[in-house]
Amino acid sequence: MKLHILGCYAATPRTLTNPTSQVLEVKNHMFLIDCGEGTQVQLRKHKIKFSRINHIFISHLHGDHFFGLSGLVSTFRLLGREKELHIYGPKGIKEAITLLLKLGDSWTNYQLYFHELTNKGPEVIFEDDKITVETIRLNHRIYTNGFLFKEKLGERKLNVEAVAKHKVDKAYFQNIKNGRDVVLDNGMVIPNADLSFDPPTPKSYAYCSDTAYKPDIVEQITNATALYHESTFLESEVHLAVRTKHSTAKEAAAIAKAANVGQLILGHYSTRYKSIDLFKEEALEVFPNVELADDGKFFDF
Ligand SMILES: [Zn+2]
């Protein structure tokens, strides 16, 4: 999985910091997650092909997570897009975007599908043969979902030397990849384990922004390869975190530790702090593998 951070700061866009948006590349998909103001500029700046984005996931309807969406939808039209575009987000997102298109008499010339979410618990909202996307119910001032992107278990890998040694015909290869044993013409059975290797462990990415400290998400995201968890504040401002339903770096790390994730990526920083390194220092006291998201940063996991 490859993760491009386009923006990871809370509240308003500033000269050097952008509101939330990121692109996850997985199994030939390019998923756009949240779309704060300026997202299309960031896409251009980081040379990410607009045309490969077919699915957009919006966590909640605070401006710093979706004010870039109407502009992007409109730009797709100007670029002559023909492929359909799917937008997943809270109920109301369709009304918000279509009103702007209607007032400007600028309907898209491609199919635009809204998948409005009202679920109270986790729900699978996208699935194909290689991946699923589930919502993670978060606790914020308005209705908010995180998203869990999960690879499916792939086919077994053919043991090329073993199939050659046993002179197994090519016609059996797909069955071997599907986990079946092979019966030779003389009746001898070769167990599947002798002819193939286990598939790679499926990866997963959990995106959790914005939310108050919410330990009941741990079960759903346990063993995720990577967790992006918001850390708007440090513990010194925990009272603000509680009041605004955000998390501190320490709380994000506690979630990462309880869920035993591979790595924690912090983001959604308040711009009140002098350095984002403070967030990493605080989280490292609780959990060992902490990375800082930053605009333009790229993660491969
Ligand atoms: Zn918010």
For range 118-126, the mean pLDDT: 96
For residue range 31-80, what is the model confidence (pLDDT) as tens digits? 999 999 999 999 999 999 989 999 999 999 999 999 999 999 999 999 99
In this structure, what token pair is assigned to residue 104?
């400007």
In this structure, what token pair is assigned to residue 114?
């809204």
Report the separation in Å between the CA atom of 208 and the middle of ligand 1, taken as the mean of its atom positions: 11
- Reported as type and span, the H/E element at residue 198 is none
Selected catalytic residue, list 34, 64, 210, 295? 64
- CA dihedral of residues 44, 15, 37, 233 (deg, nearest 10): 120
How buried is 298 (Cβ within 10 angstroms: 0-12 exposed, 13-18 middle, 19+ buried)? exposed
Report the separation in Å between the CA atom of 234 and the middle of ligand 1, taken as the mean of its atom positions: 17
Report the separation in Å between the CA atom of 60 and the middle of ligand 1, taken as the mean of its atom positions: 7
List, as one string, the DSSP characters of 21-70. Answer: EEEEEETTEEEEEEE-TTHHHHHHHTT--GGGEEEEE----SHHHHTTHH
C-beta separation of 226 from 260 below 8 A: no
- Examine the pLDDT at 240 and tell me if it is beyond 90: yes
- CA dihedral of residues 48, 51, 52, 53 (deg, nearest 10): 90
Report the separation in Å between the CA atom of 62 and the middle of ligand 1, taken as the mean of its atom positions: 5
Of the pLDDT bands very low, low, confident and very high (cuts 50, 70, 90), residue 259 is very high
DSSP 8-class letter at 234: -
For residue range 272-296, what is the model confidence (pLDDT) as tens digits? 999 999 999 999 999 999 999 999 9
Residues with CB under 5 A from ligand 1 (ion): 62, 210
Report the separation in Å between the CA atom of 185 and the middle of ligand 1, taken as the mean of its atom positions: 65
Q: Is 64 a catalytic residue?
A: yes
Q: What is the pTM of this model?
A: 0.93
